[in-house]
Structure 1
Amino acid sequence: MKTRLLLIFCYFVILQINAQIIQNTGVLIIGGSTSGTMAGIQSARMGVKTIIVEETPWLGGMLTSAGVSAIDGNHHMPSGLWGEFREQIRNYYGGADKISTGWVSNTLFEPSVGQQVLRKMCAAEKNLSLIFNTKLIDIKEVNGGWQVKLSNGKIIQTKVIIDATELGDVAAKVGIKYDLGMDAQATYHERIAPEKANNVIQDLTYTAILKDYGINVDKTLPKPANYSASEFNCACKEFCNNPAAKRQNPCASLMTYAKLPNGKVLINWPISGNDYYANMVEMSENERQEAIKAAKEVTLRFVYFLQTELGFKNFGLADDEYPTTDKLPFIPYHRESRRIDGLVRMNLNHIENPFSQTQPLYRTGIAVGDYAIDHHHEKNPAAPDLHFVPVPSFNIPLGSLIPKQKANFIVAEKSISVSNLVNGASRLQPVVMQIGQAAGALAAYSVMNKVSPEKVSVRAIQKILLQSKVYLMPYFDVPLTHPNWEAIQQVGATGILKGVGQSVNWSNRTWFYPDSTISINEFLKGLKDFEPKFEYHGISEQKSISMSFAEFEAILSDFKHFLIQNKNTLARVIIEQNLSLDKKNKPISRSEIAVRLAGLIEKEVDFEGGFR
């Protein structure tokens, strides 16, 4: 009897121990990176229990832990959580002008301050838990979800997992297919792709944050091993003996390029500077650590070069940024990683000519960017020169976050399904922050509706993002303050009214022209794209002049009647108005059209952008 009681007691003790060890959550995010942090905030805001697991003591990835605190792009499109983050940074320093301190960016901040802001944003979310200094040990599929084992001994079971690691390590661990390196010209017919595929990825950088300790203070490092000033020949104009050298800047500009508030400088210099080539993606952990060590050594040699050859001896490694023994960031800045085999693959053609592709991926947009195709390949002589390729602004399709092979799995950060060339624009901080927010929305929606991400409604996710002021379409001339911003975003995502892309140096644009008019021909073409079977017979001749209110209402009435005849419930979302006599013959603007047609976004699309 005693033995039986003891066995029963032990059984319940074991059950209790297991209950204590296995922790359940709705969404689990591996990687407190730039995207991982935003995914956690968004998921938690939607009421889903969410956990972020991060290897380092900091949140933010490239924004903070890698020190890349000079924002590239999206200055005029403060979409979603990117806009919230920027606003809090501005408030911390006292205004937008206080963080426009360097010529490379309009938003520069100390990494430690970025970390504080992210912690504050996460702390406001009661459904969000953070686990630091912890690695993923094992992961397996369990009961239609995932179970992970962590280095701290915890086991977490989750319905949906998000890989927000820097190199897409979780996706690889569970067997998701991926690409690595440059795509051949024949693969996607991208005009600047190399003829043959290769395994070349972008240079990484181990950045440094320097601080001005005062003009009379000498903070020169001990001379690093293997130092030679010739390693940095032509890093700037006055220190260059090669007349053919490209992109030469005055040496003083190296310290103003990414000047941060409070007398600090980000050292992330691509021109014969501290970029470093190492394809770390498929390396073992020991090999990665050796590559990181080598990258750090390049950066320390470059800092010594700045201090000795260029005379900036009063600038030393900041002692109030990173709690590391070497005062360098926690992680390197990885510009490129695995690119998963997603439900869709976005390539350069989708950016350059979004409205003429057989896959109208723009209709499925969940994030926007306006940066050029910027590839860093200087430290790898085998790589082609793809430093700067102007393109229009663009959006990221939802399907690029979802792998083909696994259910209840989402990929964020830089490992989404894009071509190698597109990665050069999609990798930038504001875009990755939005990718993270979309991943969080997708994960939370999947949990709440008990559906795997590859089966969600694209429009449902877009509506959630719109409520959070996320841009679906990259319209430069329709700011968040525009009274019809949401309607224009909605109509843009239907394709009835299309934008016009333009390359403008580093800040590329797509124009909607909200106050402009539209011809009847162009409007009918847009309706035809939306509903191919619709025919309008109210106009006897082609008309290319501006469409009037009366003409628009006549077409709209016929279109609504067509929908009703075809038992299409979309008829109920079209807004018609009684026009005054003095307005009937006046031209109608694109913005006014958008307001009346905004509800048509309810027409569902598949992940390739085709209407269902």
Structure 2
Amino acid sequence: MNLFESAAFSVFRLLMFKQMRGSYLFLIGIVAVLSACSNVATQFDKEVDVLVIGGGASGTMAGIQSARLGASTQIVEEGPWLGGMLTSAGVSAIDGNHRLHSGLWAEFRQNLYDYYGGADSLSTGWVSKVLFEPSVGAEILLKMAQAEEKLTVQFNTKLLKINQIDGGWLATFSSDKGDTVYIKTAVVIDGTELGEVAKMVGIPYDVGMDARSVTGEEIAPEQANNIVQDLTYVVVLEDFGKGADKTISRPENYDPTPFYCTCQGRCDTSVFKRTLWDCGYMMEYGRLPNNKFMINWPISGNDYYANIIDMSAEERDSTLEKAKWFTRCYVYYLQNELGFKNLGIARNEFPTDDGFPMIPYHRESRRIKGKVRFTLNDLARPFSQKTALYRTGIAVGDYPVDHHHGAYPDQSKIPDIHFHPVPSFALPLGTLIPAAVKNFIVAEKSISVTNIVNGTTRLQPVCMLIGQASGVLAALAVELGVSPDEVPVRKVQKHLLEAGAYLQPYSDVTPENSYWEAVQCIGSTGIIKGEGKNKGWANLTLFHPDSVMTAPALLEGVRELVPGFDFSFETNVVTVEEAGRVAAELSRAIGSDPSRQVNAIDKIWEEYAFGEYVPSAAVTRCQMAVLLHELAAPFETLQVDLQGQFITETE
């Protein structure tokens, strides 16, 4: 019986007491019980500034970043590892963002490089350039967390309930030792795999595919449905050497037919209409260091369809056992029928009795209704929308929109969303913030995006960067004494830049460039815009830093900030001297700090290593960005709202 139930039971006893002893004693008792009830909400075992529930890819990075900004932070994880899909689910092949080495994602990757001996040591399989053993990933993430003095991590602890109280939240947990733990916090971050905390506190959400009429996405189905992406129970196999026979026992009700098209040789490709690989090459797809193999194969492999999101705990357990059985059948097929008998389940990889990961790989979750909903149109054509969500960017991604529906029984009802080409993108801040609930942030795959967009925002680097932004937002909310929805967008972005995180997905300007921050800031105002492109798996947005700045493009960008802004250029190509005068006039028009005008352009040229200062020379786009950043500072001067619109003084 918990404290609230005990108080209710006491009221019942007092009602009985009234009948026996009279009203006076009854009233005294009621006062005592109500006094006790008023204290229930404030009784807790621990108080922290930020509570991260779920230590997955997002939750881990959220906890680390929040602590780095000085907020007392706790991660509570239901399992024994940090990392979620990166580690506990065994999906240790990073998809995307290889050219966008941003923030904590880049830090995690560097730690992997250091552990294995360089970048080439991680390029072991052809699906990714960053492959690693899940146990190593978990060890690295734990060390990163333990290095933060303001961060504590509690494993094997399950959330029972959570209540909103004055000043934040009171969360009730049960540990694996049977203890009940109460934690009070100012801000909660939902870092769970399926948005469990968001549901618990009553945040509205969507599950499945959205209707085209609602999202305006041309490739969305005409009618909404509850179909989600396939999940996968990954398994890691290990090569035990030539001649070894590690064939598992034949699974009950084993049927090889679902796997016949997993590679070349047994499938009629004229009917199947998918590219099939040589079986040996297929196995190299997820090769990990130290002769291990991640089995997460989408083509007639171990993807499994099940929408478990709103199932009961018992239904989930039963369904996931079937998903694990299906993967076990696939392992048996690989060993017994394709001849990979030397590959056995790696027994030293996961702390489980059967050698399987602790959780399945969930590609899709609940998607909350947030302050902003990010659609495919916002992602694919960011500069031509009514809103300017790109200005509020807090995480970047460059993977195609990739949906797994191969295991769904009736694929004719589903749009074919397989590597839909898009440019790289900036995820807006408002997707992390619920529309109505205060002091709450949502991370991982439960952010406010459409079903289609989830096909790219679900990837590991993006989720890590979502977590980092969540940590910044939470820590700033605590510091400023406001709810996360009231934290200025530019403050969040400024701290992310200081942490080496990209706001805009410009892969041709990296943090190693002296002008990287200037490009990120000016790109986030929209004065100079990038060009989105896609080439197969390579989805790009290019800033073209060394191209000349043209007068029409510059005027168009400046007029978005200052309508009617005018300047007379000698030609269509902007000179260095003209660029400096435009920046100075913009500074006066938007009310920038006048002290910036003392910065001499020749000194700026020297500081940024631009070479010889020639006023009459054509200015490049990166040089223009620097002059705007140094002399006018529009990023710092003009605030934006969650829709990316500039905030006027009257607002």
Q: Same fold, TM exceeding 0.5? A: yes
Q: Show the counterpart of 2:75.
A: 52
The 1:578/1:55 distance shift into structure 2, 3 A limit, reads closer
Maintained 8 Å contact 2:583/2:628: no
User: 5 Å matches for 1:367-406?
Assistant: 367-380=395-408, 381=410, 382-406=413-437
Q: Could you tell me how far 1:551 is from its partner in structure 2? A: 2.1
Q: 1:258 aligns with which of 286, 290, 313?
A: 286
Q: Could you tell me how far 1:536 is from its partner in structure 2? A: 1.6
Maintained 8 Å contact 1:575/1:597: no
Q: Show the counterpart of 1:286.
A: 314
Q: Name the amino acid aligned to 1:609.
A: G
Does 2:127 align with 1:104?
yes
Q: Show the counterpart of 2:527.
A: 496
Q: Could you tell me how far 1:239 is from its partner in structure 2? A: 2.5
Secondary structure at 1:501's aligned position in 2? strand
The Cα offsets for residues 162-208 of structure 1, whole Å up to 9 and x where unpaired, read as: 00100001001111011111111111211211111111110000000
Q: 1:536 aligns with which of 541, 557, 566?
A: 566
Does 2:69 align with 1:42?
no
Maintained 8 Å contact 2:169/2:188: yes
Q: 1:68 aligns with which of 88, 91, 99?
A: 91
Q: Show the counterpart of 1:180.
A: 207
The 1:315/1:578 distance shift into structure 2, 3 A limit, reads closer
Tell me how far apart the structure 2 counterparts of residues 176 and 560 of structure 1 sit (CA, whole Å).
42
Does 2:486 align with 1:486?
no
User: 5 Å matches for 1:209-288?
Assistant: 209-245=236-272, 246-288=274-316
Q: Could you tell me how far 1:570 is from its partner in structure 2? A: 5.0
Q: Show the counterpart of 2:469.
A: 438
Report the identity percentage.
51
User: 5 Å matches for 1:588-607?
Assistant: 588-598=619-629, 599-602=633-636, 603-607=638-642
Secondary structure at 2:444's aligned position in 1? coil
Q: Could you tell me how far 1:388 is from its partner in structure 2? A: 1.4
Tell me how far apart the structure 2 counterparts of residues 516 and 346 of structure 1 sit (CA, whole Å).
31
The Cα offsets for residues 558-581 of structure 1, whole Å up to 9 and x where unpaired, read as: 333434xxxx23555567535599
Secondary structure at 1:62's aligned position in 2? helix
| Count of matched residue positions in the alignment of Structure 1 and Structure 2 | 592
Q: Show the counterpart of 2:19.
A: none
Q: Show the counterpart of 1:125.
A: 148
Tell me how far apart the structure 2 counterparts of residues 327 and 456 of structure 1 sit (CA, whole Å).
45
Q: Show the counterpart of 1:197.
A: 224
Q: Could you tell me how far 1:23 is from its partner in structure 2? A: 1.0
The 1:19/1:525 distance shift into structure 2, 3 A limit, reads closer
Q: Could you tell me how far 1:269 is from its partner in structure 2? A: 0.4
User: 5 Å matches for 1:327-476?
Assistant: 327-380=355-408, 381=410, 382-476=413-507
Q: Could you tell me how far 1:241 is from its partner in structure 2? A: 3.2
Q: CA RMSD in A?
A: 2.0
The 1:280/1:570 distance shift into structure 2, 3 A limit, reads farther
The 1:496/1:137 distance shift into structure 2, 3 A limit, reads same
Tell me how far apart the structure 2 counterparts of residues 233 and 73 of structure 1 sit (CA, whole Å).
29
Maintained 8 Å contact 2:504/2:520: yes
Q: Name the amino acid aligned to 1:361.
A: L
Secondary structure at 1:508's aligned position in 2? strand
Tell me how far apart the structure 2 counterparts of residues 185 and 18 of structure 1 sit (CA, whole Å).
44
Tell me how far apart the structure 1 counterparts of residues 401 and 438 of structure 2 sit (CA, whole Å).
31
Maintained 8 Å contact 1:80/1:434: yes
Which TM-score applies when normalising by structure 1?
0.94
The 1:561/1:407 distance shift into structure 2, 3 A limit, reads closer
Q: Could you tell me how far 1:254 is from its partner in structure 2? A: 2.4
Q: Show the counterpart of 2:600.
A: 577
Tell me how far apart the structure 2 counterparts of residues 578 and 606 of structure 1 sit (CA, whole Å).
32
Q: Show the counterpart of 1:156.
A: 183
Tell me how far apart the structure 2 counterparts of residues 576 and 513 of structure 1 sit (CA, whole Å).
26
Q: Show the counterpart of 1:546.
A: 573
The Cα offsets for residues 425-466 of structure 1, whole Å up to 9 and x where unpaired, read as: 000000000000000110011111111001010000000000
Maintained 8 Å contact 2:365/2:445: yes
Q: Could you tell me how far 1:554 is from its partner in structure 2? A: 3.1
Q: Which stretch of the first structure deviates more once superposed, 477-486 or 326-335?
A: 477-486
Does 2:632 align with 1:609?
no
Gaps of 5+ in 2: 1-36, 606-611
Maintained 8 Å contact 2:562/2:589: no
Secondary structure at 2:522's aligned position in 1? helix
